[in-house]
Amino acid sequence: MKNVVIIGCGAAGMMAAIAAAREGAQVTVLEMGRKPGRKLLLTGNSRCNLTTLDPDLCEKYASLEDGSCSAFVRTVYEQFSVSDTLNLFEDCGLLTAAEHETWVYPVTGKSESVLGVLLGELQRLKIKLKYNVEVTEISRQDDMWQVHTDGWSYPCDSVVIACGSRAVPSTGSNGSGYELCRGLGLDVTDILPALTAIKCRLTREDCRPFTPGVSSGKAAEDESGKSAAMDPLPLAAGTRTAALVNVYADGNFIANERGQVQFTQTGVSGIVIFNMSRYTGRALHEGKDVRLLLDLLPDISQEKLTGTLERLRQVRPDDSMRGFLTGILPPGLIPLFETETDPAAAAGQIKALELQALGHRDFDNCQVCAGGVRLTELYPKTMECVRNDLRGIHIAGELADVDGPCGGYNLQWAWASGYTAGRHAAM
Ligand SMILES: Cc1cc2nc3c(=O)[nH]c(=O)nc-3n(C[C@H](O)[C@H](O)[C@H](O)COP(=O)(O)OP(=O)(O)OC[C@H]3O[C@@H](n4cnc5c(N)ncnc54)[C@H](O)[C@@H]3O)c2cc1C
């Protein structure tokens, strides 16, 4: 019987433990927190969007170092598919239902139900769970792997490292998994926050960068003595609206998506923006000039919008752009355009509001990380390290350089890579 140690009791670690135990191994899970699945409980606004029914899901993943990783992910999903995920959960007693066609949630609407059935299965399979143990090193001794914690070592035949990323470190994923992997000599990429809000500024010539505390729109002199208004973007904070978001890097189109955009004090947020942050993060990391063009009225043509504004100006010559926009934009967005006097120019800006991406929110405020253990270090059929001296070491979950958009993709990756790693660790 093989002895398998799993490091991390998150989504990937629990799935790896179940797979290894079902394969007949003796399994120990080492978790540095006091409780299992702390991040899992936060997922999907505590409802847990546990997988996706998107038929093209493999195309939606990316790695930081190698760009598209759909071939790698597809091979992993051939070992453990979305149907396998749904069947396993149903086997364990979890009933699920899809919303918006592809987003799968437990019917209870509670992430704790997902954690509960996983823990039930761990118990049924007599998997040993140890809490408050942080793994600090992995070494090789006499044909066995030794997993070291503060004051104790666990000898084993194989190890699954499932320590997560650096996203929301308060859930336990504090980046220590990357250090364990580096300690083994594995190539780990840079790590960036992804699925997060984008900090940005309006790029209009008449706007200076926003200075907190100085009222927006107020004329101020720049170093050259030229008068310029403050960036009015923060005035829109709190407004949500439907938009089509196009992303350009160094002038080249890289991605777009349509949905609800939320304006914040420092930029833009919402699911669409989270998805776009996977592209803007990579492009900024490469030192590119990144622009977001927001079409704030995606269902109205520019001609129709211009015509409407021109007609309003004719019939209401004493009114202002603010007045003309009352029935066209949510109130919070009007200050962004009210200084424009020309209807065609205002329509152009509303159809393509240009924002320059300046950065992103930090690791405390992102859902996943881009980057991780390089995929060239791993066999996708087993999630085992390719290097001969690392045979028996498997990597699972977000620790690998794979990230997906919002909508169940990242948990599906955790389940599938976890199951694949655990099963082969036990063989
Ligand atoms: C707010 C939020 C909402 C999300 N919503 C969704 C969603 O609805 N759908 C979706 O698909 N994805 C969602 N995600 C992403 C998803 O939760 C993660 O991709 C997934 O949980 C990663 O699983 P993991 O097992 O790889 O890592 P984690 O869940 O982070 O687990 C890693 C575990 O390893 C432990 N650990 C770390 N280092 C050590 C060490 N040295 N020794 C011992 N233990 C260690 C940690 O304590 C932790 O328990 C969301 C993420 C966040 C933050």
Same domain, 189 and 202: no
Q: Which residue minimizes the CA distance to atom 46 of ligand 1?
A: 172
Same domain, 116 and 225: no
CA–CA dist 425, 137 (Å, integer): 19
Same domain, 335 and 388: no
Looking at residue 13, its amino acid is: G
Same domain, 156 and 287: no
Last residue of a domain, one of 360, 378, 408: 360
CA–CA dist 427, 424 (Å, integer): 5
Same domain, 40 and 154: yes
Those residues with Cβ within 8 angstroms of residue 12's Cβ, 6 or more apart along the chain or in another chain: 162, 164, 396, 397, 398, 399, 414, 415, 417, 418, 421
Please state whether 353 falls in left (phi above 0), alpha (psi between -120 and 50) or beta: beta
| Pocket probe mutation, ligand 1, options 48, 401, 410, max atoms within 8 Å of Cβ | 410
Exposed e or buried b for every residue in 115-126, given b needs 16+ CB within 10 A? bbbbbebbeeee
- 335 alpha carbon to ligand 1 midpoint, in Å? 40
Q: Is the pTM of this model over 0.75?
A: yes
Cβ–ligand 1 distance for 147 under 6 Å, the answer: no
From the list 10, 30, 16, the residue with the least C-alpha distance to 146 is 30
Last residue of a domain, one of 308, 335, 360: 360
Question: What one-character DSSP code corresponds to residue 377?
Answer: G
Instruction: Output the CA–CA distances (angstroms, integers) from residue 266 to 197, 204, 278, 337, 359, in the order listed.
Output: 9, 16, 18, 18, 10
Same domain, 80 and 118: yes
Domain holding 240, by residue range, is: 198-360
> What is the domain-level CATH number for residue 409?
3.50.50.60
Cβ–ligand 1 distance for 179 under 6 Å, the answer: no
Instruction: Say whether 58 sits in a helix, a strand or coil.
Output: helix
Q: Which residue minimizes the CA distance to atom 35 of ligand 1?
A: 8
- 356 alpha carbon to ligand 1 midpoint, in Å? 31
Last residue of a domain, one of 311, 335, 360: 360
Same domain, 290 and 326: yes
- Tens of pLDDT along the chain (427 residues) come to 999 999 999 999 999 999 999 999 999 999 999 999 999 999 999 999 999 999 999 999 999 987 789 999 999 999 999 999 999 999 999 999 999 999 999 999 999 999 999 999 999 999 999 999 999 999 999 899 999 998 899 999 999 999 999 999 999 999 999 999 999 999 999 999 999 999 999 987 554 444 444 443 444 444 444 445 578 899 999 999 999 999 999 999 999 999 999 999 999 999 999 999 999 999 999 999 999 999 999 999 999 999 999 999 999 999 999 999 999 999 999 999 999 999 999 999 999 999 999 999 999 999 999 999 999 999 999 999 999 999 999 999 999 999 999 999 999 999 999 999 999 999 9
From the list 284, 294, 273, 293, the residue with the least C-alpha distance to 195 is 273
Residue with tokens 């149907």: 83
Same domain, 373 and 339: no
Counting the structural domains of the chain, the total is 2
Same domain, 149 and 285: no
What are the start-end ranges of the E strands in 73-114?
A: 96-99, 103-106
Same domain, 89 and 213: no
Same domain, 78 and 142: yes
Same domain, 162 and 21: yes
Cβ–ligand 1 distance for 33 under 6 Å, the answer: yes
